[in-house]
Amino acid sequence: MNMQNLLEDIAGAVQSQLGQGQVADYIPQLATVDPYCFGISVATRDGEVYSAGDARTAFSIQSISKVFALALVLALDGEDIWKRVFREPSGNPFNSLIQLESEGGIPRNPFINAGAIVVTDRLLSMTGDAAGAVRGLMREETGNAGIDVDPRVAGSELGNSHRNASLAHFLASCGNLENPVEDVLDSYVKQCALAMSCEDLALATRFLASNGLRTDGTRLLSPAQTKRINAVMLTCGTYDAAGEFAYRVGLPGKSGVGGGIVAVVPDKCAISVWSPGLGRSGNSVAGVAALDEFTTRTGWSVF
Ligand code: GLN
């Protein structure tokens, strides 16, 4: 298989899907992005990178950051986080409030907003700078020291964060936050506002395709921890569309409302796609179509 040709074919095949869906506008700064962008990158386990389309354009990674925050917390703090967050699919939108009260302030999983806020809270306790820790991991795994928080996106989200603030206050009322709500929200919006390209994200996600080994050969996670993160990505990484994502793509994946998705082919490669038009559950329409095409044509799926 010629990977470069394949990615170019896929970029051609999804052209008709570009512009479909809605660009996220509840974070006003995200609505300024061109909905016709599309990029795809594959980073293999041994460090080769293949790309097509707008794969070098930086975009807002949003909820994709939740995977990296969780990986750091597991690496620094072991399994204790699972006392504060479940790992079941929620079947509800990523910013839903509804289960949190009936389940006593323990979020359904680390990839919905409530769960990610708890993970970021723990990372803040452990490092003093949660967004800085996620940014550091991204820079080290990619070798790109230019990766940074986009302050316009962070400010835009912080100014419109009543929903996440209510989740955080409810968590605090249940004793499930260690830090002040304002500090946790500030860290959370900054980690979500990291700007990265498909190439950066595919490289940064490679440890999940390498049994937890980092680019420099040191270990971030044990093979078992890596397996578990991938499992939670498969069941919860695309929210209330995780079943449809598994059906179409058949890989662990994590989406963000900036239109990016990362997916993992264990032992082979990490894939990143980006196109800003989102479907009803907040996943990139063309991005899911491209990943569907990729796994259908390569046969590289976990099923
Ligand atoms: N920062 C966004 C939010 O909290 C992330 C959501 C997402 O990407 N699904 O709403």
Q: CA angle, corner 63, sides to 27 and 29, nearest 5?
A: 20
Q: Which two tokens stand for residue 5?
A: 């040709």
* Catalytic annotation present for 257: yes
Residue 57 pLDDT > 90: yes
* pTM for the full predicted model: 0.98
Task: Spell out which residues line ligand 1, taking CB within 6 angstroms.
Answer: 62-63, 94-95, 113, 157, 164, 192, 256-257, 282
Query: Which atom in ligand 1 lies closest to the alpha carbon of residue 95?
Result: 10
Active-site entry in 23, 41, 60, 66? 66
Catalytic, 153? Answer: no
CATH superfamily of 3-298: DD-peptidase/beta-lactamase superfamily (3.40.710.10)
Q: Per-domain residue ranges for the chain?
A: 3-298
For 256-289, what is each residue's pLDDT tens digit?
A: 999 999 999 999 999 999 999 999 999 999 999 9
d(CA 206, CA 184): 27
pLDDT in tens, 135-182: 999 999 999 999 999 999 999 999 999 999 999 999 999 999 999 999
Q: What is the mean pLDDT of residues 78-94?
A: 96
Reduced to 3 states (helix: H, G, I; strand: E, B; else coil), residue 255 is strand
- Is 63 one of the catalytic residues? yes
The answer to whether 66 is a known catalytic residue is: yes
Q: Which one of 41, 60, 63, 275 is the catalytic residue?
A: 63
| Averaged pLDDT for residues 99-110 | 97
Q: Give me the pLDDT at residue 233, please.
A: 98
Q: What is the mean pLDDT of the chain?
A: 97
Q: How confident is the model at residue 1 (pLDDT cuts 50, 70, 90)?
A: confident
Tokens of 194: 């990291």
Residue 287: C-alpha distances to residues 21, 52, 123, 235, 291 (Å)? 11, 13, 29, 18, 6
| Distance from the alpha carbon of residue 264 to the mean position of ligand 1, in angstroms | 21
pLDDT tens for each residue of 30-56: 999 999 999 999 999 989 999 999 999
Locate 100 and state its tokens: 């949190």
Ligand 1, pocket-test mutation among 157, 190, 194, 240, most atoms within 8 A of CB:
157
Q: Mean pLDDT throughout 46-71?
A: 97
Sign of the CA dihedral running 277, 283, 287, 293: negative
pLDDT over threshold 90, residue 245: yes
Burial tier of 2 (Cβ tally within 10 Å: 0-12, 13-18, 19+): exposed
